[in-house]
């Protein structure tokens, strides 16, 4: 299973763009990169998933370089409601023991 | 449509008692996952079901923990002889098929407190 490393915490002011980078040096050919968001007292919620290059949806963008050994979740113009823990996962289809890790705690400051 | 539901939402039990936690996945989802999250910690994977079978039970913390799934739907996580270190939020998730390439839909969790 590909291990992931991401910062434990980040602070950002409202209205700024936030980039959270996840390292996954031993990512396998079949692995996808998935990000989840978790608010206090709630279960995680899927944000975005990608395999290579760039993926964008209404919530975020995901940038994946050609070597796929890292990925960056980009949140445009964050608001206070974006304060949450963000998890990076790497894995493929089929059965795998799923590891969420500790995630990155993002604190948005007014 | 209905999401993943879990019951009870909160459970307070005395040390040594048995507890059962229930998860109702999204209809038609074949994969079901159980996680545990202690205060301020990440999610700890416990067990995974594909249909009614659990291919790998190695994530369960001890033999006091067991889980079953019936009819490819509802799952129950049972903790026998609860200990204070079992206190945590227990989260259930389901997905249309297994693997981290597929989106998991999480329930609200059951907060277990062992006194």
CATH number (domain holding residue A74):
2.60.40.10
pLDDT tens for B49-98 read 988 999 878 889 999 999 999 988 999 999 999 999 999 999 999 988 77
Tell me whether residue A4 is in a domain.
no
On the question of pLDDT at B101 being above 80, the answer is no
* Residues of the domain holding A38: 9-109
Predicted confidence band at A101 (pLDDT cuts at 50, 70, 90)? confident
On the question of pLDDT at A44 being above 80, the answer is yes
Cβ distance A90 to B102 less than 8 Å, yes or no, reads no
Q: Which CATH class is domain B14-97?
A: mainly beta
Instruction: Report the 10 Å Cβ neighbour count for B11.
Output: 17
**Residue whose C-alpha is closest to residue A14's, from A86, A80, A104:** A80
Cβ distance B98 to A87 less than 8 Å, yes or no, reads no
> Tokens 């799952």 correspond to what residue?
B75
Cβ distance B103 to A46 less than 8 Å, yes or no, reads yes
User: What pLDDT shows up at residue A41?
Assistant: 85
Task: State the nearest Cα–Cα gap between A48 and chain B, in angstroms.
Answer: 9
Nearest to B99 among A46, A95, A100 (CB): A95
Instruction: Report the 10 Å Cβ neighbour count for A24.
Output: 22
Residues of chain A with Cβ-Cβ distance to B38 below 8 Å are none
Predicted confidence band at B41 (pLDDT cuts at 50, 70, 90)? confident
Tell me whether residue A2 is in a domain.
no
Does the beta carbon of B56 lie under 8 angstroms from any beta carbon of chain A? yes
Cβ distance B93 to A43 less than 8 Å, yes or no, reads yes
Q: What residues form DSSP beta bridges with B34?
A: B47, B92
Predicted confidence band at A52 (pLDDT cuts at 50, 70, 90)? very high
User: What pLDDT shows up at residue B74?
Assistant: 96
Task: State the nearest Cα–Cα gap between A42 and chain B, in angstroms.
Answer: 5
Tell me whether residue A83 is in a domain.
yes
Task: State the nearest Cα–Cα gap between A20 and chain B, in angstroms.
Answer: 17
Average pLDDT over residues B30-44: 89
User: What pLDDT shows up at residue A24?
Assistant: 92
Predicted confidence band at A100 (pLDDT cuts at 50, 70, 90)? confident
User: What pLDDT shows up at residue A2?
Assistant: 67
Helix, strand, or coil here: A81? Answer: helix
User: What pLDDT shows up at residue B17?
Assistant: 98
The tally of domains found in chain A comes to 1
Does the beta carbon of B91 lie under 8 angstroms from any beta carbon of chain A? yes
Predicted confidence band at A9 (pLDDT cuts at 50, 70, 90)? very high
Cβ distance A97 to B97 less than 8 Å, yes or no, reads no
- Cα–Cα distance, B22 to B27 (Å, whole number): 15
Instruction: Report the 10 Å Cβ neighbour count for B84.
Output: 9
Residue B82 φ/ψ, nearest 5 degrees? -55, 145
Cβ distance B101 to A34 less than 8 Å, yes or no, reads yes
Query: A95, exposed or middle or buried, with CB in 10 Å at 0-12, 13-18, 19+?
Result: middle
Higher pLDDT, B42 or B22: B22
Residue B85 φ/ψ, nearest 5 degrees? -70, -5
Q: Are B53 and B67 in contact (CB under 8 A)?
A: no
Predicted confidence band at A1 (pLDDT cuts at 50, 70, 90)? low
């Amino acid at each position: 299973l590909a291990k992931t490393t991401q910062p434990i915490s980040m602070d950002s002011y409202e209205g700024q763009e936030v980039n959270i980078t996840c390292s996954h040096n031993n990512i396998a050919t079949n692995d996808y990169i998935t990000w989840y968001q978790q608010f206090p007292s709630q279960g995680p919620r899927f944000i975005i998933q990608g395999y290579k290059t760039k993926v964008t949806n209404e919530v975020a963008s995901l940038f994946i370089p050609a070597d796929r050994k890292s990925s960056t979740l980009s949140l445009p113009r964050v608001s206070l409601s974006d304060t949450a823990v963000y998890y990076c996962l790497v894995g493929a289809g089929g059965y795998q023991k799923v590891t969420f890790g500790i995630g990155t705690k993002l604190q948005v400051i007014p | 449509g209905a999401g993943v539901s879990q019951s009870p939402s909160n459970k307070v039990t005395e040390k040594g008692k048995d507890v059962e936690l229930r998860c109702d996945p999204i209809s038609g989802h074949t994969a079901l996952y159980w996680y545990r999250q202690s205060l301020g910690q990440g999610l700890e994977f416990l067990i995974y079901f594909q249909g009614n079978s659990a291919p790998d039970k190695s994530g369960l913390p001890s033999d006091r923990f067991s889980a079953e799934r019936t009819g490819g739907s509802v799952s129950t996580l049972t903790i026998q002889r609860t200990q204070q270190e079992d206190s945590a939020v227990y989260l259930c998730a389901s997905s249309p098929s297994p693997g981290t390439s597929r989106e998991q839909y999480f329930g609200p969790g059951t907060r277990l407190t062992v006194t």
